[in-house]
């Protein structure tokens, strides 16, 4: 339990368990570590002035068995109660950090609960761009944070293998007669073809007839083009999995939309909707010949001309939202049917044109240590059954804000079916659009003569930054600076493979942090220069701080954790400088930030905390000597303090950012690299 929750528990124990108690951090820590306005809120109810009520409350808190948490509790202003944490508590938390190591910050918030996090869900018809990367990094980080909070997490990637976009690319291969290039990633070939086929379709309406024929086969799952579509999906997916492996992003399940139909799942749900008179056949009007759900209870329904939703068109096509209703019912175990499952064996590859200087053996060395192949859903006749997916208590689906209406429809249908609890447990993690800055758009050849502040990406027009290309740019930039310095490579006898691994850590940290530093709801304007920035408010700044601490600890001798734990728990009088105490008073907040990020489903809270922690460490280090301090006790106490700081940065939210300090010498290289002002 975080200290925030402990204080709230004390207050509820005194005032009543039913109360909603607000607890904040004062802007100035001179006013304490926590503050509550509960006396102002309850004064009228208890018929006392806020200050008199506050004085009584403070006396009761002091008599509470857990009052030892505080060195002081005082009344401030019109009736605020301020709490000052005791040195013994702060020292104890530092000891706990050093003793628990990676386990510090783990919570029981989700103990016994199963959850699905669905993210990425990119159409399997071309390469991923930076907008998709934001989705994947956000979803992966949410899954890691939820695991740290005790949830049993399943990670799903929904594969739209029956949609219009797939029909486009199958049509492109059929019409344009393109061939694979062994030196170019297959999804990059598809990127170019997808752009070209849009031009062809616009210029030649007859091609639409061919495309509709192809799409019909894809939806029915049979025929020459259906087989070609399946083969294409597998190839593109393999390339996308390779791209995600660069960021240590993996999946447990690739759920193919086609399997919702082939497994009989949609048929089962459709029959239930018809039987309960939820889905009705329209004989006249705008939706004549369609199966629809009428009078949905949707947000802002009063502003809609019609709140009905078509599930099956007059031509018999099952719309996306209908399949997603069946999909989400399956997630919660609310249908009897299931899929067949087979392992999707990802072939890790290397392409000189997209992943420059990252050789295949190194690629495997980096990723095979943690890479696990996901399952892929197929019909029950094609795959094994009884694999334990679904049947969860909570569901988080990461998809951009434009999908809000579809989620409102799914929730409304859940409620019509009587699944109110599950409707409330279905969470749409919406995030803002990713567009291109003017400079980046111009660099990509977009017409920026209108001088707009930002420009939307368009797969149809080929406007966007492919993730592989972005990786190539940033990793080449990082590697060039490492080799330019040269000294670190020679001094620590790093092999070329180890240099590549340092490049991977730094590049991944920079890009992940850029995607996580903003609230998910904010629009992200992607800019090359900002993404590649290596100083200040950035992932590499966190890595630099971690590297710097590890360098100090190495020089300070072997890290005997037991000794540091001992000194950590007896810090009273040894740490007295403002920057020392400021750093110490920041460490204990980590579990609170993990819980906040989980409850708000927003990793940026942890990122902001880590930046603050790093800034406070660097302020401390600028004013306090660690090695060769005033006396041995102070030196060991400061070593304990910075060891705890390094552990928190390493723990993060379950591994959201890569950190470059796993081998002696890496930290030194990173320190020199990050201290250079203009990378």
Distance CA 656, CA 674 (A): 20
The full length of the chain comes to: 679
For residues 481 and 472, give the distance between their C-alpha atoms in angstroms, rounded to a whole number: 14
- How high is the pLDDT of residue 427? 97
- Residue environment code for 396-421, b if the CB has 16+ CB neighbours within 10 A, otherwise e: bbbbbeebeebbbbbbbbbebbebee
pLDDT at residue 604 above 70?
Answer: yes
d(CA 61, CA 12): 11
The reported pLDDT for the residue numbered 534 is: 64
CATH label, 114-435, candidates 3.40.50.620, 3.30.450.20, 3.30.300.180, 3.20.20.70: 3.40.50.620
Check pLDDT > 60 for residue 491: no
The tokens for 159 are 């594969």
Conformation bin of residue 26: beta by default, left when phi > 0, alpha when psi is -120 to 50: beta
| Mean per-residue pLDDT, 253-278 | 95
Asked if 361 and 291 count as a contact pair (C-beta separation under 8 A), the reply is no
Residues 6+ apart with CB under 8 A from 447: none
In this predicted model, what pLDDT tens digit does every residue of 496-511 receive, in sequence order? 777 777 788 888 888 8
> Within 10 Å of residue 13's Cβ, how many Cβ atoms?
14
- DSSP-based three-state secondary structure for 152: strand
- With beta carbons less than 8 A apart as the criterion, state whether 352 and 359 touch: no
109 or 347: whose pLDDT is higher?
109
Cα distances from 471 to residues 34, 332, 376, 466, 477, in angstroms, run 43, 37, 27, 9, 10
Instruction: Evaluate whether 549 touches 617 at the Cβ level (below 8 Å).
Output: yes
Query: Rounded mean pLDDT of 409-435?
Result: 95
Q: Can you give the residue ranges of every domain in the chain?
A: 3-85, 114-435, 467-675
Q: Report whether CATH 1.10.730.10 matches the domain 467-675.
A: yes
| Alpha-carbon distances of 380 from 266, 320, 342, 404, rounded to whole Å | 14, 22, 10, 32
What's the CA dihedral at 145, 19, 5, 620 to 10 degrees? 100
Quote the pLDDT of residue 671.
44
Q: How many CB atoms lie within 10 A of CB 630?
A: 11
**Topology annotation, domain 3-85:** Gyrase A; domain 2 (3.30.1360)
Greatest Cα pair distance in the chain: 89
d(Cα 589, Cα 10) in Å, to the nearest integer?
18
- Considering only residues 147 and 351, tell me which one the structure prediction assigns the higher pLDDT: 147
Write down the pLDDT at residue 560. Answer: 53
Region for residue 32 given its phi and psi (left: phi exceeds 0; alpha: psi -120 to 50; beta: otherwise): left
**CA 633, CA 330: separation in Å to the nearest integer?**
60
pLDDT band of residue 411 (cuts 50, 70, 90) is: very high
Give the three-state DSSP class for 662: coil
Q: What is the mean pLDDT of residues 197-217?
A: 89
The tens digit of pLDDT for each residue in 135-181 reads: 999 999 999 999 999 999 999 999 999 888 999 999 999 888 877 88
Statement: the pTM of the whole predicted model exceeds 0.75:
yes
* Sheet-wide strand order for 114-118: 340-343, 375-378, 253-256, 152-159, 114-118, 394-398, 426-429
Residues 6 or more apart whose Cβ sits within 8 Å of residue 566: none
How far is the CA of 582 from the CAs of 97, 564, 607, in angstroms?
A: 17, 19, 19
The candidate with the shortest Cα–Cα distance to 546, out of 667, 673, 679, is 667
Equal fold, 114-435 vs 467-675: no
Distance of CA 620 to the CA centre of its chain: 31
Angle of CA points 467, 468, 471, to nearest 5°:
85
pLDDT tens, residue by residue, 24-36 = 999 888 899 999 9
CA distances from 27 to 35, 82, 442, 642 (A): 10, 12, 42, 24
Measured distance CA(69)–CA(71) in Å, rounded: 7
Parallel/antiparallel/unpaired status of strands 279-281 and 454-456: unpaired
Q: Compute and round to an integer the Cα radius of gyration of the chain.
A: 28
- Displacement of CA 340 from its chain's centroid (Å): 28
């Amino acid at each position: 339990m975080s200290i925030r929750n402990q204080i709230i528990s004390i207050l509820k124990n005194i005032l009543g368990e039913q109360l909603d108690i607000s607890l904040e951090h004062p802007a100035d820590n001179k006013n304490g570590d926590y503050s509550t306005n509960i006396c102002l809120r309850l004064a009228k109810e208890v018929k006392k002035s806020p200050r008199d009520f506050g004085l009584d409350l403070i006396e009761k808190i002091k008599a509470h068995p857990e009052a030892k948490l505080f060195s002081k509790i005082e009344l401030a202003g019109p009736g605020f109660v301020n709490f000052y944490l005791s040195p013994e508590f702060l020292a104890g938390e530092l000891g706990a950090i050093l003793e628990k190591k990676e386990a510090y910050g783990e919570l029981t918030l989700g103990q016994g609960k199963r959850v699905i996090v669905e993210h990425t869900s990119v159409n399997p018809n071309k390469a991923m761009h930076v907008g998709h990367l934001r989705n994947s990094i956000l979803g992966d980080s949410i899954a890691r944070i939820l695991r740290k909070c005790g949830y049993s997490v399943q990670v799903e990637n929904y594969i739209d293998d029956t949609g219009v976009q797939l029909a486009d690319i199958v049509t492109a291969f059929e019409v344009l007669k393109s061939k694979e290039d062994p030196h170019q990633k297959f999804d990059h070939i598809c990127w170019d073809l997808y752009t070209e086929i849009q031009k062809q379709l616009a210029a030649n309406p007859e091609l639409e007839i061919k495309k509709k024929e192809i799409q019909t086969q894809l939806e029915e799952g049979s025929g020459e083009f259906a087989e070609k579509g399946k083969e294409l999906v597998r190839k593109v997916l393999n390339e996308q999995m390779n791209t995600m492996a660069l960021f240590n992003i993996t999946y447990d399940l690739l759920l193919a939309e086609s399997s919702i139909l082939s497994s009989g799942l949609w048929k089962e749900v459709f029959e239930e909707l018809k039987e309960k008179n939820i889905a009705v056949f329209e004989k006249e009007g705008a939706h004549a010949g369609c199966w629809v759900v009428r009078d949905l209870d949707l947000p802002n329904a009063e502003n809609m001309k019609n709140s009905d939703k078509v599930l099956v068109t007059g031509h018999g096509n099952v719309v996306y939202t209908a399949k997603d209703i069946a999909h989400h019912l399956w997630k919660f175990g609310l249908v009897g049917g299931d899929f067949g499952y087979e392992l999707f064996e990802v072939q890790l590859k290397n392409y000189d044109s997209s992943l420059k200087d990252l050789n295949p053996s190194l690629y495997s060395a980096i990723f095979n240590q943690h890479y696990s192949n996901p399952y892929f859903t197929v019909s029950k006749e094609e795959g094994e059954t009884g694999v334990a997916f679904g049947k969860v208590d909570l569901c988080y689906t990461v998809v951009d804000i434009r999908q809000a209406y579809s989620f409102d429809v799914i929730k409304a249908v859940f409620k019509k079916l009587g699944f109110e609890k599950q409707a409330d447990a279905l969470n749409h993690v919406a995030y803002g659009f990713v567009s291109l800055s003017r400079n980046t758009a111009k660099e990509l050849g977009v017409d920026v003569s209108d001088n707009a502040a930002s420009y939307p990406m368009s797969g149809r027009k080929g406007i966007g930054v492919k993730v592989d290309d972005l990786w190539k740019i940033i990793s080449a930039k990082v590697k060039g600076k490492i080799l330019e310095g040269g000294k670190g490579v020679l001094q620590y006898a790093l092999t070329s493979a180890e240099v590549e691994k340092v490049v991977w850590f730094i590049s991944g940290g920079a890009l992940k942090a850029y995607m996580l530093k903003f609230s998910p709801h904010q629009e992200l304007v992607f800019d090359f220069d900002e993404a590649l920035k290596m100083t200040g408010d950035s992932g590499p700044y966190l890595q630099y701080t971690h590297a710097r601490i590890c360098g100090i600890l190495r020089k300070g001798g072997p890290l005997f954790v037991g000794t540091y734990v001992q000194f950590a728990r007896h810090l009273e009088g040894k740490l007295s400088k403002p920057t020392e105490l400021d750093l110490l008073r920041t460490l204990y907040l980590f579990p609170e930030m993990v819980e906040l990020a989980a409850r708000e489903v927003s990793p940026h809270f942890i990122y902001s905390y880590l930046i603050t922690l790093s800034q406070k460490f660097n302020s401390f280090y600028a004013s306090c000597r660690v090695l060769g301090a005033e006396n041995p006790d102070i030196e060991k106490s400061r070593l304990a303090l910075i060891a705890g700081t390094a552990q928190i940065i390493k723990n993060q939210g379950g591994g959201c950012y890569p950190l470059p300090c796993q081998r002696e010498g890496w930290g030194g290289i990173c320190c020199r690299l990050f201290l250079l002002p203009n990378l």
